Chains A and B, each alone.
Chain A
Amino acid sequence: MSEETKSSAPPPGGEPKPPADKPSAGTVQSTPSEKMSPSSEKPAATSSEKPAAAASEKPAAPVEKPPVAAKPAAPATAGAEAKAPASPAAAAKPAAPAKPAGPAPVPWESPLVSRLRTRHGSGVIEASTYLGQNYLVLESSVTLETLQVLHEQEGFDYCVDITAVHYPKREKPFDLVWILYSFAKNDRLRVKTMLADGESFPSSYPIWPTANWLEREVYDMFGIKFDGHPDMKRILLPETWEGHPLRKEYGITQQDSKWVQINLGIESGQ
C-alpha cells in the first residue's frame, strides 16, 4: 500500500500547482485592504445592511422606527452602488447592479409572524427571509417573552446557538442573536434584538438550559451581561483577562504588544 502511495503521489503533487497560484493571487490582491485598518471601512458598510432591510419592510414596520431607519437608508444604498462597480472587473459591471437585487431580504409572512404581531404589535420590528432563512428583529423589551412563547407555544424546543455581533457606530451597538430550531416543524428561526452598550439582558437559561455556556461565552467575548444567569463569569478566557475580544475596538495585536512591553521591555513582538 505504501509503495503504491509513493508511486502515484507525484501526479497529484504536480497537478495542483497551477491552480495553487490562483487563490494566492487572490489573497495577495486583498492583503492591502486587510492591512489597512479594517475598522475604518467596515462600520460604514455595516450600517448599509440593517437599514436597507428595514427600509424594505417599511409598510409593515412600526411608526416610530422608519424615521431612524430612513436616514441612513439613502446613503446606504448609494454606498452599495458605489461599492459594487469597484469590486469586480470591468466586465462584471452589468452584473453588479443585478446582484444585490437577487439575495435581498423579503418580508416574511406566516401565521407565526401574525400571531407575534398581534401579541406585541410594534415590538416586532422586522420579520424577513434572507436566502431562505427566516429571522425576526424584536424590541429588546419583548424579546424574552417572545422567546418563551416560541419555546412553549411554537415548538422551538432546541436553542442551537446564542451569539452577538458588534456594530460600534450604531446607537445600540450590539445585536444579540438566538438561533432556534423546532424538531416538530423541522424549521430554523433567528431572533435578533439590539442592545445598548452596558445594557444587560435577562438570561434565557430558564427556557433552554443550553443557554448557560452560550451566554457565558457572549459575556466573555462581548461583555454583555445576562441577568438571572446562575453563573455569570468568563468561560474561555481567564478571569483576569482585560477587555472583551470580539468587540470591534479590541485590536488583534493589542494583547500581544501589551504583554511584550511589560515582560520583555520591547515595543512590539510583531
Chain B
Amino acid sequence: MTDPTTYISHLELGEPDKTYLDTNELIINMGPQHPATHGVLRVILKLDGEKVLGTECVIGYLHRGVEKIAENRTYAMFNPYVDRMDYVAAVSNGLGYCETVEKLLNVEAPPRARYIRVILTELNRLASHMLWLGTHALDIGAMTPLFYTFRDREEILKIFEKYCGARLTTHAFRIGGLQYETYEGFEKDVKNFLDFVPPKIDEYEELLSTNRIWVERTVGVGKITGANCIALGVTGPVLRASGVKWDIRKAMPYSGYEQFDFDIPTCENGDTFDRYMVRMKEMRQSLRIIRQAVDGIPSGPIMAKVPKVIKPPAGEVYHSIEAPKGELGYFIVSDGSTQPYRVRVRPPSFVNLQALDLMVRGALVADVIAVIGTIDIVLGEVDR
C-alpha cells in the first residue's frame, strides 16, 4: 500500500536562489486552452529543467452543477443531463442513471430492453475507445490513426442516429427500459459493423504497436502500480493495465452482463503502452459481447411497468456500472417526491485524474501530454 505521506498534491516551492546562476525550480502553466489537455484542464507544473517535480490540476472550468440541477428536475427530466457529462460515452451515462432509478423503484428492464442496452453501451465503449485512441495518438505525434478511428467511429454514430436520432448525446434509454423499438435493419447494421471493424482494429495496431516512435513514447511512461491505483481509487482500463483484474461487468453484473461470455484483458506493467494494449483488447471483447447479444435478442416488451410520474419510495441507493473510463456510480437519495433529493455522480474521470501527479513525477514535460491522454479523461465529466 502506498505511504500517503509520499504523495503530496500541493506544490511547495523552495526559497528563491539568490546566486547569479539561478537554477531555481520553475513553475509553468499548461492549459486550460491547451490542445493536448482534452478540453479545459489546467495543470500547474513544477519543473527542474525538463523534469517534472510535481503537478497540480486546476479543474472546474466546465462545471455546470449537474448535481444541483438534478435536485430541481424530476427523475425523467434529469435523464438527458447525464449525457452531457461524459459526452463521448453518453449511452453509458444514461445506462447508469436509468439503472439506479430502476433500482430505487425496484423494477427491472425487460430482457429485450437489456439486450439492446448492452449492444448500444458496448458500441459506445468502442466509440469512446476509438476517440481516445485517435486523440491520444495525435497528442503523441501520430496523426494517421485519428483519421482512421474517426472514420470507423462514424459507423457507430450512424447506428445511434438511426436508432434514436442523435449521434452524441443520445438519451437512448428511459427509466424502465427503452423508448424506441429498434429500427428495421438494426440487427443487420450491427452485424455489418461487427464484420467491418475487426480488420480496422488490426490496422490501428499495425500502425502503432510496433511503431518505434510510439513504443519509445509509451513504454515505461506514466507507470502506476496496482496497489497505488486502488489507494487512489483509479478504475477502468488504467487499473487493469496495472494487473488488477477487476471489471464491474464481471464483479457485480448489471443489465444482464452475466449472460455473456467475455474476458477481462489485463497487463502487468501499468505504463502508457499497457493501457493502450488493454483498451485495444477491450475493443475486441466488446465486439464479442455485441455479437452474442445481437444473436440472442429476445422478443417481448421494451418497457417495464413504470408509472408515468416517477416517484420512488424514500430511500437511498448506490449503483455503478463499468463505463469506458472506469467505475461510473450514481448515489441517489429519494424523499418520495417526484424530484430526487440528492444525486451524486461518482465520475471515473475525476477520480482517475487524481493519479496524474503520481504518474508524471520524475517524468519529462512531453510525458505529461502522454499521461493525460492515457488516463482518458473527459472534462465534461471531471467538472460536471
List the interface of chain A (C-beta within 8 A of B). 1, 5, 8-9, 11-13, 15-16, 19-20, 22-23, 25-27, 29-30, 33-34, 38, 41-42, 45-46, 48-49, 52, 80, 83, 87-88, 92, 99-100, 102-103, 105, 130-131, 133, 157-161, 163, 165-166, 177, 179, 183, 186, 188, 190, 205-206, 208-210, 212-214, 221, 230-231, 234-238, 245-246, 250, 252
Q: Of the candidates A33, A46, A88, A190, which one forms a contact with B335 in the assembled complex, judged by CB atoms under 8 Å apart?
A: A46
B68 close to chain A: CB less than 8 A: yes
Cβ–Cβ < 8 Å partners of B333 in chain A? 49, 165
Q: For residue B310, which residue of chain A has the nearest CB?
A: A26
State how many angstroms separate the Cβ of B267 from the closest Cβ of chain A.
18
Asked if B354 and A30 make an inter-chain contact with CB atoms under 8 angstroms apart, the answer reads no
Whole-angstrom distance between the alpha carbons of A67 and B104 in the complex? 29
B185 close to chain A: CB less than 8 A: yes
Whole-angstrom distance between the alpha carbons of A218 and B367 in the complex? 31
Query: Shortest 6 CB-CB distances between A and B: which pairs?
Result: A210-B233, A236-B60, A12-B183, A45-B335, A49-B314, A161-B346
Whole-angstrom distance between the alpha carbons of A206 and B3 in the complex? 8
Jot down 30 A-B pairs with beta carbons below 8 A, ordered by A. Answer: A5-B161, A8-B162, A8-B185, A12-B164, A16-B179, A19-B179, A20-B179, A29-B309, A38-B337, A42-B339, A42-B341, A45-B341, A46-B335, A48-B335, A87-B311, A103-B313, A157-B230, A157-B231, A158-B230, A163-B344, A163-B346, A165-B341, A177-B344, A179-B346, A210-B233, A213-B354, A245-B65, A245-B68, A246-B67, A246-B342
B206 close to chain A: CB less than 8 A: no
Q: For residue A8, which residue of chain B has the nearest CB?
A: B185
Whole-angstrom distance between the alpha carbons of A155 and B174 in the complex? 37
Asked if A159 and B233 make an inter-chain contact with CB atoms under 8 angstroms apart, the answer reads yes
Q: For residue B228, which residue of chain A has the nearest CB?
A: A209
Cβ–Cβ < 8 Å partners of A183 in chain B? 230, 244, 246
Asked if A49 and B179 make an inter-chain contact with CB atoms under 8 angstroms apart, the answer reads no
Q: For residue A229, which residue of chain B has the nearest CB?
A: B9
B27 close to chain A: CB less than 8 A: no
- A19-B179, A245-B68 known; A131 vs B317 contact (CB < 8 Å): yes
Q: For residue A212, which residue of chain B has the nearest CB?
A: B9
Whole-angstrom distance between the alpha carbons of A145 and B37 in the complex? 39
Asked if B184 and A8 make an inter-chain contact with CB atoms under 8 angstroms apart, the answer reads yes
Task: Report the interface size for chain B: residues with CB under 8 A from the other chain.
Answer: 76
Cβ–Cβ < 8 Å partners of B232 in chain A? 209-210
Whole-angstrom distance between the alpha carbons of A250 and B65 in the complex? 12
Asked if B315 and A130 make an inter-chain contact with CB atoms under 8 angstroms apart, the answer reads yes
Interface of chain A: mostly helix, strand, loop or mixed: mixed
Asked if A45 and B336 make an inter-chain contact with CB atoms under 8 angstroms apart, the answer reads yes
Asked if A130 and B8 make an inter-chain contact with CB atoms under 8 angstroms apart, the answer reads no
Whole-angstrom distance between the alpha carbons of A83 and B334 in the complex? 14
Asked if A209 and B315 make an inter-chain contact with CB atoms under 8 angstroms apart, the answer reads no
Cβ–Cβ < 8 Å partners of A9 in chain B? 161-162
- A163-B331, A209-B231 known; A246 vs B68 contact (CB < 8 Å): yes
Cβ–Cβ < 8 Å partners of A48 in chain B? 314, 335-336
